[in-house]
Structure 1
């Protein structure tokens, strides 16, 4: 009847890592709250072969204040989520997104309390 042809990357490593809807919703919710507090003004996303990265900027001309990285290759070791600071230091690493975002959310509470 016909020949079944598999997709080019079927069963192998994905050609691009991305955020699923729930992860992106959680990240953009935090971003929106930081924008409302007047702390962040811009963001960028990089979806590559090894990692998906969300970077948040105070001003678009600077380096990002925080990077949220998803690296599935580290899932079984240190955890696939990492929060990386402005100077490239890993601030938090884990298997779930919520605890990795906790330091930024605590900082948001301090920003709101200062007013």
Structure 2
């Protein structure tokens, strides 16, 4: 009889991926829908990895995302798990609350709506 060698992950749960819960996703998609209605965004993408979940909003599908909303639970106790990242990769806002991190985009939307009337 041969020897059975256990796999490195035997007995452990498989690594989970980070994702958005229903409330977070509703909040993000609500903002996305209003930006689409204002004619600013046309496409989005979501990426889910072990340590980060990313929602990317695009002006056009062939471009880099105008904004990325990142959720990194490992940074919860340090800088805050939410980050708003610009097209160039600069972190525009970071914090613990999704509403506070989305505030710059909300203000931009208000300017678009007010200016368009």
TM over 0.5: yes
Aligned counterpart, 2:6: none
Q: Unaligned stretches of 5+ in structure 1?
A: 1-6
2:13 to 9, 14, 32: 9
Q: Once the 2 structures are TM-superposed, how far is the Cα of residue 8 of structure 1 from its aligned partner?
A: 3.9
Aligned counterpart, 2:91: 90
Write the deviation string for residues 70-90 of structure 1: whole angstroms up to 9, x where unpaired. 000000000000000000000
Aligned counterpart, 1:39: 40
Q: Unaligned stretches of 5+ in structure 2?
A: 1-10
Q: Distance in 2 between matches of 1:48 and 1:65?
A: 20
Q: Once the 2 structures are TM-superposed, how far is the Cα of residue 50 of structure 1 from its aligned partner?
A: 1.1
Aligned counterpart, 1:113: 114
**3-state DSSP class of the match of 1:34?**
helix
Q: Distance in 2 between matches of 1:17 and 1:40?
A: 25
Aligned residues: 107
Q: Distance in 2 between matches of 1:9 and 1:34?
A: 39
Q: Distance in 2 between matches of 1:39 and 1:79?
A: 28
Q: Distance in 2 between matches of 1:87 and 1:69?
A: 15
**3-state DSSP class of the match of 1:35?**
helix
Q: Distance in 2 between matches of 1:84 and 1:50?
A: 16
Q: Once the 2 structures are TM-superposed, how far is the Cα of residue 59 of structure 1 from its aligned partner?
A: 0.1
**3-state DSSP class of the match of 1:49?**
coil
CA RMSD in angstroms comes to 1.4
